[in-house]
């Protein structure tokens, strides 16, 4: 099968070169242009070597370079494939037909986000110069109170450019290519793609409504270098830790104190449940990243990260060598928003509204015999027998949802529905469209 699927790449001359660097660059160019699609197989090493007139060692070196940079994955007998979301700008993009409700994005509802213009006027940002403090002390003080209230040590903190930025910097502070990192299954596809881009090996572990399963984590512990966990508003399943699950996971992690643990609290106060954490004793290496993207707006690109002193020190050192700091305009703006009582009231309202939207859809689906999961956050996970059929059925009815394939690895088929802007009155219609046979809709049309 691998040889057959590699024929187009050989015939069209997409892969060229006589040196490893030239070969890897030609593959990257083909991915960037869209000529090689995500998931597509590359030729076996020996066959491509024969075609190009080079040694198998040269082709293997090219493939190894592509794998380290996250462009391809090697899967034993399944061969080498382009990753599902390669880390290069590609022409490929999801197309949502006009008039179709987009429930794929995972965005918050704009009506439940604060007015930035008023807060920006109050902040009155000034020019900042090189050599000034990189982190706004008022922002850190406000964040420290939030972390302490949730049982997370605020002794060492830093401002980073969003949740994924904090995750990436934490991983780079301790790990090296080839290290294995546990992630949730189903889980956020961007985390999976980030691990591949860093040359790390994802280790998908099963979850339920309360997050990672302790037995699964215990079984994988000895081969792991890090664990990435979403304490609430888990994407796509909406899982959230409770006190008992957090305690059970901490007991497992007591046998791996050198493990790096990263908590991705991307939804924060609008998740709909209190914050849980597995940080603290006996962990030596940890980071909790709390983003404002879902609560205050994705364009702010800001998160505050608490962690152990070594992790925070290393992250800060690398940040200074690159971006230097997160814009103080953004930091000042978040301070104003966090201080505003009306914004706090809006966040409380947003958490309640998102909760009603989740429950309305889950109840409507369950009334029609479809189980659905969404304990917290902005997404609902719906197991289905056939993802493609379910996506097409909803698209025919005017709803665009995400196939679960991009989020799952060993777990069963499902679809992800973003409920950020889904009014409860729409839930019944959506559930009906998903459960109504396609033939019935065709006849009624």
At 72-126, the pLDDT tens digits run 887 666 688 888 777 776 655 567 888 899 999 889 999 999 999 989 989 888 8
Confidence of residue 40 (pLDDT cuts 50, 70, 90): confident
> Which structure tokens are listed for 319?
């940040």
Q: Which helix (H) or strand (E) holds 400?
A: strand 399-400
Q: Which helix (H) or strand (E) holds 339?
A: helix 328-339
What pLDDT, on the 0 to 100 scale, is given for residue 438?
A: 54
Q: Which of 227, 199, 194 is nearest to 84 (CA)?
A: 194
- DSSP code, position 264: E
d(CA 245, CA 260): 19
What pLDDT, on the 0 to 100 scale, is given for residue 262?
A: 98
Kindly report, residue by residue over 125-134, the tens digit of the pLDDT.
889 999 999 9
Choose the weakest-confidence range: 65-69, 161-165, 216-220: 65-69
Kindly report, residue by residue over 402-412, the tens digit of the pLDDT.
999 989 989 99
Expressed in percent and rounded to 5, the helix, strand and coil fractions of the chain are 45, 15, 40
All domains in the chain, ordered by first residue: 2-82 (1.10.10.10), 101-110+343-444 (3.90.1150.10), 124-339 (3.40.640.10)
With H, G, I as helix, E, B as strand and everything else as coil, classify residue 304.
strand
Tell me the β-bridge partners of 417: 380
- Buried b / exposed e over 34-48, threshold 16 CB at 10 Å, is eebebebbbbbbebb
Q: What angle do CA 160, 163, 119 make, to 5 degrees?
A: 65
Q: What is the CA radius of gyration of the chain?
A: 23
Q: What angle do CA 437, 438, 440 make, to 5 degrees?
A: 70
Alpha helix (H) residue ranges in 34-87: 45-52, 56-68
Alpha-carbon distances, residue 19 vs 52, 55, 72, 74, 439 (angstroms):
10, 10, 18, 20, 55
What pTM value is reported for the model?
0.85
What pLDDT, on the 0 to 100 scale, is given for residue 235?
A: 97
Alpha-carbon distances, residue 384 vs 42, 228, 317, 389, 422 (angstroms):
31, 27, 46, 9, 20
Tell me the β-bridge partners of 303: 160, 291
Reply yes or no on whether the pLDDT at 69 is more than 60.
yes
Q: Are 341 and 334 in contact (CB under 8 A)?
A: no
CB atoms within 10 A of CB 396: 14
CA neighbours closer than 13 Å in the CB half-sphere of residue 127: 2
CB atoms within 10 A of CB 109: 17
Reply yes or no on whether the pLDDT at 445 is more than 80.
no
Confidence of residue 3 (pLDDT cuts 50, 70, 90): very low
> Which structure tokens are listed for 81?
């494939």
What pLDDT, on the 0 to 100 scale, is given for residue 436?
A: 79
Alpha helix (H) residue ranges in 93-230: 116-123, 137-149, 163-174, 189-197, 214-220
- DSSP code, position 370: -
Which residues make Cβ contacts (< 8 Å) with residue 348, sequence separation at least 6?
A: 269
Reply yes or no on whether the pLDDT at 325 is more than 50.
yes
What pLDDT, on the 0 to 100 scale, is given for residue 91?
A: 53
What pLDDT, on the 0 to 100 scale, is given for residue 83?
A: 82
């Amino acid at each position: 099968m691998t040889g057959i699927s590699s024929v187009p790449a050989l015939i069209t001359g997409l892969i060229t070169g006589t040196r490893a660097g030239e070969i890897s660059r030609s593959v990257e160019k083909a991915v960037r242009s869209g000529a090689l699609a995500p998931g597509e197989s590359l030729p076996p090493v020996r066959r491509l070597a024969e075609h190009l007139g080079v040694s198998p060692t040269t082709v293997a070196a090219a493939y190894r370079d592509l794998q380290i940079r996250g462009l391809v994955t090697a899967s034993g007998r399944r061969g080498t494939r382009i990753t599902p979301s390669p880390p290069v700008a590609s022409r490929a993009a999801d197309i949502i037909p006009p008039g179709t409700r987009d429930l794929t994005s995972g965005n918050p509802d704009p009506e439940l986000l604060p007015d930035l213009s008023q807060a920006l006027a109050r902040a009155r940002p000034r020019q900042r110069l090189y050599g000034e403090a990189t982190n706004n002390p008022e922002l850190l003080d406000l964040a420290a109170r939030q972390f302490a209230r949730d049982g997370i040590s605020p002794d060492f903190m830093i401002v980073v450019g969003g949740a994924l930025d904090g995750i990436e910097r934490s991983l780079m502070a301790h790990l090296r290519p080839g290290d294995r990192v546990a992630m949730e299954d189903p889980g956020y596809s961007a985390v999976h793609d980030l691990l591949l881009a860093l040359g790390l090996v994802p280790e998908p572990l099963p979850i339920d409504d309360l997050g990672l399963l302790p037995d699964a984590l215990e079984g994988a512990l000895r081969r792991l270098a890090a664990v990435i966990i979403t304490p609430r508003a888990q994407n796509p399943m909406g899982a959230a830790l409770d006190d008992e699950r957090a305690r059970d996971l901490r007991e497992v992690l007591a046998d791996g104190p050198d493990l790096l643990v990263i908590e991705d609290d991307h939804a924060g106060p609008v998740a709909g449940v209190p914050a849980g954490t597995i940080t603290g004793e006996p962990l030596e290496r940890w980071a909790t990243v709390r983003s404002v993207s879902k609560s205050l707006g994705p364009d702010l690109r800001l998160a505050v990260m608490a962690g152990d002193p070594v992790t925070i020190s290393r992250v800060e050192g690398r940040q200074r060598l690159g971006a230097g700091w997160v814009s103080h305009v953004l930091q000042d703006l978040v301070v104003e928003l966090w201080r505003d009582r009306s914004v706090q009231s809006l966040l409380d309202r947003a958490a309640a509204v998102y909760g009603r939207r989740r429950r309305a859809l889950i109840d409507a689906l369950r009334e029609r015999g479809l189980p659905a999961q969404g304990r917290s956050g902005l997404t609902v996970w719906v197991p289905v027998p056939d993802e493609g059929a379910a996506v097409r059925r909803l698209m025919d009815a005017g709803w665009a949802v995400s196939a679960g394939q991009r989020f799952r690895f060993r777990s069963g088929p499902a679809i992800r529905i973003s409920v950020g802007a889904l009014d409860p009155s729409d839930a019944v219609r959506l559930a009906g469209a998903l459960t109504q046979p396609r033939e019935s809709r065709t006849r009624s049309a």
